[in-house]
Every structure is written in structure tokens, then in C-alpha cells.
Amino acid sequence: MEIKVINKSNNELPHYATADSAGLDIRAFLNEPVTLKPLERKLIPTGLFLEIPSGFEVQIRPRSGFAFKQGVTVLNSPGTIDADYRGEIGVLLINLSNEDVIIESGERVAQMVVAPFVQAQLKETNALSETSRGDGGFGSTGKN
């Protein structure tokens, strides 16, 4: 699969870190460092514009190391980039730590996963089929 990319940043194109990586690391494209205070959220530009093939989406997800080491994650995770969007890819980050976090231009801030999707046709009804779980929701299947 090929995705056309306009790269207005001075960063390299996103790439897979290993042969079996599912996500491509994406980097911040900033004029100056950005400070994220505790519980603060900011939209971080990437300088990337994508032409995603029809039938696919790009999911923006946190980087595990960034989340674990600095407490920064993607707020609307996973964020969906639709195939018909042509604007700049931005990453909505939030600092969940107790300390300020400084984000530098070129820093890996998230990863993007390319995924196919299915559009469902919803059909209104008055009843749903029965299952052994029924309407059991949050925590209904137990802790273990």
C-alpha cells in the first residue's frame, strides 16, 4: 500500500522502527519548544499532509515510551484521520505527569497506524437477539 505524503517539516518521513512495527513514528514540527504543564493539552503540528486511500484510516496513537517515561499521551486516542481529510496532521497531547514536559521540534510524539475499516448500515429494530451476557456491561464479566 502507498500513501502520498506532503512533508512541510524538516523531519524525515515517518517510518517503521522495526520490521514488525505496526505504527510509524511521527515527529513534532515546531518553531520553538513547547512546554506542556501538568494536565495541559496542546495540538502539536507535524508538517505532514496525507492522501489516505479510500477504505482506510490512519489512527494516531500514543508512544508507549513517551507515556511511561514522561506521562504524555494522545488525548483522543486513537485519533482517526479519515481518507478524505487533506489538512495537516496534528497530535493532541496531554501531560498526565506532575511536572512540566518540554517538547522539541523533531521529537517523536506519537505513532500512526494505517487500518482498513468497514462502514456499517444501521437498521432500526424493536428487539435484539438474546445472548448469555445480555446487557451486562462494565465489569460484568468479573475481575479475573
**What is the block-wise mean pLDDT of the chain (144 residues), using blocks of 10 residues?**
96 95 97 98 98 97 94 94 97 97 97 96 95 78 69
81 labeled binding residue: yes
Distance in angstroms (rounded) separating the CA atoms of residues 72 and 75: 9
Tell me if 95 is assigned to a ligand binding site. Answer: no
Kindly report the CATH number assigned to the domain that includes residue 97: 2.70.40.10
The separation between the first and the last C-alpha atoms of the chain, rounded to the nearest angstrom, is 40
Residue range(s) defining the domain that contains residue 104? 4-14+24-116
Is 102 a member of any domain? yes
Please report whether residue 48 resides in a domain. Answer: yes
80 assigned binding-site residue: yes
* 94 labeled part of a ligand binding site: no
Q: Is 128 exposed, middle or buried (0-12, 13-18, 19+ CB in 10 A)?
A: exposed
- pTM for this one? 0.87
User: What share of the chain has pLDDT > 90, as a percent?
Assistant: 88
Ligand-binding annotation for 27, yes or no, is no
3/56 Cα distance (integer angstroms): 10
Establish whether 11 is an annotated binding residue. no
**135 assigned ligand-binding residue:** no
Across-strand partners of 44? 91
In a domain, 108, yes or no: yes
Mean pLDDT of all residues belonging to the chain: 94
Number of compact structural domains in the chain:
1
Per-residue confidence (pLDDT) for residue 140, from 0 to 100: 67
